Chain A
Amino acid sequence: MKPFKIPFGPQHPGLEEPINFMFEVEDERVIDVKPRLGYVHRGIEKIGESRTFHQNVYLAERICGICSFAHALCYTQTVEELLGIDVPLRAKFIRTIMAEMERIQNHYLWLGLTAKEMGFETLFMYAWRDREAVLGILEMISGKRVNYGMTTIGGVRRDITEEMTERIEKVLTHLETRAKYYKNVCTRDRTILKRTVGIGILKPRDAVSLCAVGPTARASGISEDIRADEPYAAYSEVPFRVITYRGCDVASRVYVRIDEIVESIKIIRHALRNMPKGIIRVTASQRVPEGEAISRVEAPRGENLHYVKSDGGDKPARWKVRAPTLANLLALCKMLIGVNIADIPVVIAGIDPCIACAERIVTVDSKTRKQRVWSGTELWRYANEWYQKR
């Protein structure tokens, strides 16, 4: 049988950003992948050049709605470096707490979506129910559920009070028991094991050479974490463990993230107890001296890099963003080669991309050039039926 070409995406009703993958498949195996990006290109870097440094904080948050705090933090750190501002220690602790909260909500979100890709909708509902608890805390602290508007150049905008701390502690205890429950489910449930173990292999050598970042790299046994390698905010004062697994497959990526939830809870607890008193913000001038700076932040999905160049005015001369999904895309293509069509959604979801499931795929028969359109539901059904037959 001749190889088929399957365009995958770009629209889909599930959740994430549109992207297009052109798969070349032989029988059931994927033999080649070509990604095509650009469906959500909004020209943020260019818009940023026409706005002031302080306005851009809010634009940075809207690069991605899920890791919005990581982007805003990365941007503000870059500008603070240019300004030479020393951020108050309390603000640094609040930043750490917010960043970890965001990590917890992102990982629960991801766990739910990956479970959905596997056809395990119950776990999706469970995970999203627990995620609401984290969002409740985030809303209590910042006033918003998504795009918190917490960090600003020179510190943070809101403080964490004593009453808040009490409520956070309560929710954290609940979340910890839930995370342990999920670990139990994901290591024992046959549905999950069948769909994740040995699927989407990324060897450590490939992870290094293709510059994989974040949990994707850590699931291949590469111990790289910006929080530990190059501590920012208050991470240098908080003890934590970098989670790595050696499985190199989707299952390892699940375990890395669940363990990271537990680790994040510990970080938040430690930070809340050891948070110094004091001011949370220092004033920053509108004009930024000439120069350039970069900052790296460990977003829930991996390393996040912002570069800002200033020419002495109140607007950046150049602003460059490198988001973790882009870094993981090459590694994703490597993982996809050799997997079954039925495993494509799970493997794509495995890197926690800004694209999770495929809404629609078009099968093009290379002989007759006939097109058949598959919807996301059909693909999902096909995947589950294919596994039931085994």
Chain B
Amino acid sequence: MESVNPIERALRGIAITLVILFFMFPIFWIILMSFQTNETILRMPPSMVFTPTLENYMALITGKLETSAGILEIAFMKNLFNSFFLSTASVAIGLVLGVPAAYAFARLKFKGSEDIAFTLLSFRFAPPLLVLLPLTIYFQQLGLANTYGGLIWVYQLIVLPLILWIVRGYFEDIPADVEYAYRIAGHSWGATFRKIALPLAGPGIAAAALLAFIFAWNNFVFALVLASADKQPVTVGALAFVTASGIQYGQIAAGIVLSIAPTFALALYAQRYLVEGLSLGAVKG
């Protein structure tokens, strides 16, 4: 099976290069663009040679964007904060609520458990707007429109099913005998859960939390529908950026780089969990 054929090696090499080029180039280009002034960006033909500038990032951090029509105040840092806050809080709440529930689904078979699990799973694939549009009307009546609480609540719709299904699979993989042995030794249910089940399902919980965080961070439609400017995460905030006329292109690029950097860093830092979560999340559970 060894491919020693030189032509095949060359073809493989070319294919891999093209793949890397297609998938990496946009990121590379946007990072380059974020360090350029409008003049060097608009230069034709485009060139990789330029004096890098931090102006774009400075403008974003101070919230004062230079446009052709003067200074525009856009609190991009606030968007970034919103993204952090909404994603972290959603995942934290999702874990506290979801991990014990996943355990209940995996271990303590009870009436209706499969129905609940199945409903959650089938709605994971339902169009989000189907649930969101009626919710906008309810939220206005309940006073939850444009609040962090309301948003975090809605984020549970993606975070909880994800955590439930991934972590449940891990709990099911723990041999029940290990837990029984601990129980027979006189430990309570709660202690068994904390001391045995939780550590053994640790990697699964980490994978689920990581994936849930990334999904929450990358979510666009929830906040687009339910939040106004001061509560919007970066995904929606960046869009407002592009539509506002006359903003310098380098600043848009810098905004995008700041918005994707956290998920990239997380993904690189915890790649093992990520790959596991992605393939399990889709294939296994």
Instruction: Indicate, yes or no, whether A interacts with B.
Output: no
* Chain A residues near B (Cβ < 8 Å): none
Q: Which residues of B approach A to under 8 Å, CB–CB?
A: none
